[in-house]
Chain A
């Protein structure tokens, strides 16, 4: 009796999870299917699920009538460089906070954590003014430099590095390794799950970032892909939802690829963060 009860419970749980999963996937499925429809079919009432006459015209328009590859390349460059810089700065700062003692360390760390509480909207104007003074407005550096350091990343790396036995680092010092060498040869390989999780978060955030590029960049050649979506949605093209859907489908591809490559590190990093927390 107890066994059949638990089997019913398993089936019920699986059913609920399946329905939940489908609900989460539905917007993506709708987006992909709509990218193969005509604008008229997209806004038709009642709406259709499957495209009645699937076509690649939207994709052709996105790729040929707009500098989509330039925007794609801009986004890729900004996301990759920002991610790399974030991993580097977070790892180094996390190492220092985790394994070194110096005056004011605690105060400095709390200060860094406090920045997590400040919404971007509060600092976006001062950030703009600083970037403008540096002469970087309308350049890709304007999108990279303000995001090169992450308080969350520093916190995450510090937590992981605290778990590395200090004996290991002392052994490396006795072996003749410099602090830089210790970081790259010993510490970084051991916090790979944390770096994997942080890298994915940072890449996705950078890839999807809309507000700051909207402010810092107004030249079409320097735009990133989130701005491209608004480009296709402006009055210049009318309400071309098919183009927006096709552009979105193309934009999502790199994020999916990154996640598929690093998913093991990502899940391990999230799990270990949860256990430590």
Chain B
């Protein structure tokens, strides 16, 4: 196993900058997730680490070894592709064995490794089948198996679950996480799905337009997003953003006016007489009167109109219009809200996030 270090890596395609000044150190046996919207440069970064593309500038180290210019096959990495990339004319056994044959391992060793990987992934009954005879989940396991047999220093995974249905995706997420614990490997995982990022990574790297927005453990990213983009990208449903104004000791926003919450007072006072952006997670907006009491002085009340109700079993999403602004609230199934109803809402301002309206960076 090995750490991976990227130093000021940059990649341009003509006039387009796909990756801009990317620096990151992935620790040995760490599971790091690169997450961001399509076109943010996460797959390009992964391909640079793999050696499938060369960076325009910057250095890539695997362990202590500089791997710039070294072909992919000599970097001791294994990659799982979004499309699985199984050789369609070879059986599962031969798919797993292919890379070992390229390395001219002895037949007995190849057989041992293939059968061990098949046992770990529970695909022993499938060894004689062709990829066309496998389900999506089985193909995914074979793709993982092809990486495992190599015993590489680093595993690279490029959106490996995006072709699976939601249920299978959830199942494979846990399997990959278990595999990581079992094999104690270094994994760099690319996804556009923030749920995968939150549940699987030791650390998350949020990217936008080729630039790293924030690198932190999942909970920190969720609780202390560095800017509006991270705050809006991580979390489902996304964070609500309210354009507010600080006047004296009062925070005024769409449909509400409240004293500055103590927890944010120092930050908010620095924006005296100016606009700021206040971010509120859906779970910090409630229609339950008990929450208004529980949140106490750190809460504001507002009146909203229900535009849509989404029952999800254990919780309900209310799509509201508050002071003309759309907001999303995560409430309990006990809610009596229905379409068109006017509801009294509590906004937990003490748990809010404050962002500078010009730079969109988090403040305080």
User: Which A residues contact B (CB, under 8 angstroms)?
Assistant: 165, 167-168, 170-177, 181, 185-186, 189-190
Contacts and interface: CB of A to CB of B under 8 A. Distances in A.
The 8 closest A-B pairs by CB, nearest first: A176-B102, A175-B99, A171-B85, A167-B85, A176-B73, A189-B89, A167-B81, A174-B72
A35 to B, nearest CB: 44
Interface string B77-115: 111011101011100000000110011000000000000
B333 interface: no
Interface string B42-80: 000000001110000000000000000001110001110
Contacts of A177: 73, 98, 102
25 contacts: A165-B83, A165-B85, A167-B85, A170-B79, A171-B79, A171-B81, A171-B85, A171-B87, A172-B87, A173-B71, A173-B72, A174-B51, A174-B77, A174-B78, A174-B79, A174-B99, A175-B73, A175-B99, A176-B102, A176-B103, A177-B102, A181-B102, A189-B89, A190-B88, A190-B89
B87 A186 contact: yes
Given A165-B85, A174-B73, A177-B98, 5 more contacts: A173-B71, A174-B77, A174-B79, A176-B99, A176-B103
Given A175-B99, A176-B102, A176-B103, A170 B89 contact: no
Nearest to A181: B102
Contacts of B78: 174
Given A167-B81, A181-B102, A173 B73 contact: yes
B88 A170 contact: no
B300 to A, nearest CB: 52
Given A176-B103, A181-B102, A189-B89, A167 B73 contact: no
A181 B50 CA distance: 20
Interface string B276-319: 00000000000000000000000000000000000000000000
Contact of B85 (A170, A181, A185, A190): A170
A185 B95 CA distance: 12
A190 B73 CA distance: 22
| Interface residue tally on B, bucketed by range | 20 to 34
Contacts of B52: 170, 173-174
Nearest to B98: A175
Interface of B: 50-52, 71-73, 77-79, 81-83, 85, 87-89, 98-99, 102-103, 146, 150
A199 B343 CA distance: 76
Nearest to A168: B85
Contacts of B102: 175-177, 181
Nearest to B74: A176
Contacts of A185: 98
Given A177-B102, A181-B102, A167 B77 contact: no
A185 B77 CA distance: 21
Contacts of B51: 174
A47 B88 CA distance: 58
A185 B102 CA distance: 11
Contacts of B88: 190
Given A175-B99, A176-B102, A168 B72 contact: no
A129 to B, nearest CB: 45
Nearest to A167: B85
A36 B87 CA distance: 53
A175 B90 CA distance: 14
Contacts of B146: 171, 175
A181 B73 CA distance: 13
A181 B83 CA distance: 22
A142 B72 CA distance: 44
Contacts of B71: 173
Contacts of A175: 73, 98-99, 102, 146, 150
A232 to B, nearest CB: 46
Nearest to B81: A167
B83 A167 contact: yes
Nearest to A190: B89
A187 B152 CA distance: 26
Contacts of B72: 170, 173-174
A188 to B, nearest CB: 10
A65 to B, nearest CB: 50
B244 to A, nearest CB: 48
B186 to A, nearest CB: 16
B81 to A, nearest CB: 5
A170 B82 CA distance: 12
Nearest to B104: A176
Contacts of B82: 167
Contacts of B87: 168, 171-172, 186
A165 B71 CA distance: 20
A45 B88 CA distance: 62
Nearest to B80: A171
Contacts of A170: 52, 72, 79, 81, 85
Contacts of A174: 50-52, 72-73, 77-79, 99
